[in-house]
Amino acid sequence: MRDYDEVTAFLGEWGPFQRLIFFLLSASIIPNGFNGMSAVFLVGTPEHRCRVPDSANLSSAWRNHSIPLRLQDGREVPHNCRRYRLATLANFSALGLVPGRDVNLTQLEQESCLDGWEFSQDVYLSTIVTEWNLVCEDDWKTPLTTSLFFVGVLFGSFVSGQLSDRFGRKCILFTTMAVQTGFSFLQIFSTSWEMFTVLFLIVGMGQISNYVVAFILGTEILGKSVRIIFSTLGVCTFFAVGYMLLPLFAYFIRDWRMLLLALTVPGVLCVPLWCFLWRWYCWNISPLKVRLPESINAHPSRMNSITTPEMIFDPVEELKPLKQQKVFILDLFSTRNIAIITIMSLLLWMLTSVGYFALSLNTPNLHGDAYLNCFLSALIEIPAYITAWLLLRTLPRRYIIAGVLFMGGGVLLLIQVVPADYYVLSIGLAMLGKYGITSAFSMLYVFTAELYPTLVRNMAVGITSMASRVGSIVAPYFVYLGAYNRILPYIVMGSLTVLIGIITLFFPESFGTTLPETFEQMQKVKGFRSRKKTSESMETEENSKVQITAF
């Protein structure tokens, strides 16, 4: 039985049909860049302070001193969640006392923001934080909102592959695109934080499912040579394009509901992709048909100006299903060596994901313009993907992954020694860290696929990818640490990134080796050793020598 690539070889590798498929499937990833990072602006927290109502009867002097100061990053700033007791201030104001001269403000009793908050509109006109006052006692809801989006991503990545295998790639691709677009539109009409968050979780499910199915569909339709470029530069670069367009939309549309509406519209533009793939799959979905339907206008061979063979599938050919050994997730831990590789892979994916998403979500907390910082964070991904592609072609995997992780984590640790006034240098180091971590992240699919044998390769990539979703769920809380200390997120992220870079050096090297077919062909973990007696040492007990073999 000939495989699919052999049967469709007559279509060529890079004709008009393949170019159109490459572009359309890659373009369908652009909305993922919108929704995947939209929390940067939808859940943004502007500067805020307690509201002092006009009914408090305070003089202008006492109104200006109604908010206590607190120390943040070495300087005194107005407190976000406390104010002086207004009844006391009103009495002092009525008596004509002067704040600071007649009254020691540090000894005054404080109270919470009983009348709500005043939010700065310098950066955002409105976000869900200003809509539902997700600050102070409710500030835990802000990172939870983003985390629940990634919980949806985790669940979607778990079921999307199974659904596409059961119901077909095209059907699930456009169903998930409709889910992503439709539920994003419904979010505009959210009446509470709870409603918004539940819808956001469903958007996350559609977002990753669309990404995964488009990725699988492209690798199945395109030829071997084009498949590699599509899987690396095509999909990743178009995601970065969507990511770059996000701050442009947000800069001109600073109300969160209108911004969501603007981000929803591009999903409708994917309708032409549906029409094209429908025609293509009319031919592709039924490979047992030995003749091609003449009524299909968008036939791939016609687009490529190729004469279609009269017979593609030999009617005499009998399809014999291959008997495959059943494997389970516990097989990834079946021996000590395999278990060590699996555990290290899970840590590598999870901690790299933490660094990537935490740096992406933290751009509004950087000094300078939040929109420019977000754009730079997206722009730096394109050279990162190109670098990863070039390095993977020529250099050993574990060394280049460890190298870019060391670079990314090292520059993040350097941020703490940069003087507070050197904002440009701090932003530059943060972007350089994002560059290194993004490069490493894009290499992990190839590296993991090369480590595991054929039987469990899909399962290994799946479980490690799910570990990265766990990292993305945790990432918003790393950003949350910045509310207490601006440098703390970089110290934690940098330390974890350097740590996982060190662990990467213990992986077996897969570059230039044949892909393993069985567990026995998996390479041993570097640096882990166990004592074993060889047959020679057993025969010569008088020497008492034990051969140390790498485990």
pLDDT at 277: 56
pLDDT one-digit tens code per residue, 203-219: 888 877 767 767 766 76
CATH homologous superfamily of 332-551: MFS general substrate transporter like domains (1.20.1250.20)
Domain segments of the chain: what residues? 1-47+120-323, 48-119, 332-551
158 and 466 Cβ atoms separated by less than 8 Å: yes
Say how far apart CA 196 and CA 182 lie, in whole Å: 13
Distance between CA atoms of 351 and 503, rounded to whole angstroms?
A: 11
For residue 446, CA distances in Å to 407, 502, 547 come to 20, 19, 34
| Closest-CA residue to 401 (of 436, 360, 358, 453) | 436
Element (H, E) at 274: helix 271-284
What pLDDT is attached to residue 229? 76
Q: Whole-model pTM?
A: 0.80
The residues that bridge with 126 in the sheet, in sequence order, are 255
Residue 418: the pLDDT is 85
Cα 343 to Cα 37: distance, rounded to the nearest angstrom: 29
* Amino acid present at 456: V
Paired tokens of 5: 């690539």
- pLDDT less than 70: residues of the chain: 1-15, 73-74, 160-170, 210, 213, 216-217, 219-221, 223-225, 227-228, 232, 270-328, 458, 515, 526-551
Q: What is the pLDDT of residue 26?
A: 80
Q: Residue 343: what pLDDT?
A: 92
**What's the pLDDT score for residue 69?**
86
> What is residue 105's predicted lDDT score, i.e. its pLDDT?
83
Contacts of 502 (CB under 8 A, 6+ apart): 402
Nearest residue to 138 (alpha-carbon basis) of 197, 86, 189: 197
pLDDT in tens, 504-540: 999 888 777 776 777 777 777 765 554 444 333 334 3
CATH topology identical between 1-47+120-323 and 332-551: yes
- CA dist 323 to 161, 320, 326, 398, 455, Å? 21, 9, 9, 34, 12
Q: Which residue type sits at 37? A: M
Nearest alpha carbon to residue 507 among 331, 334, 349? 349
CATH class, range 1-47+120-323: mainly alpha
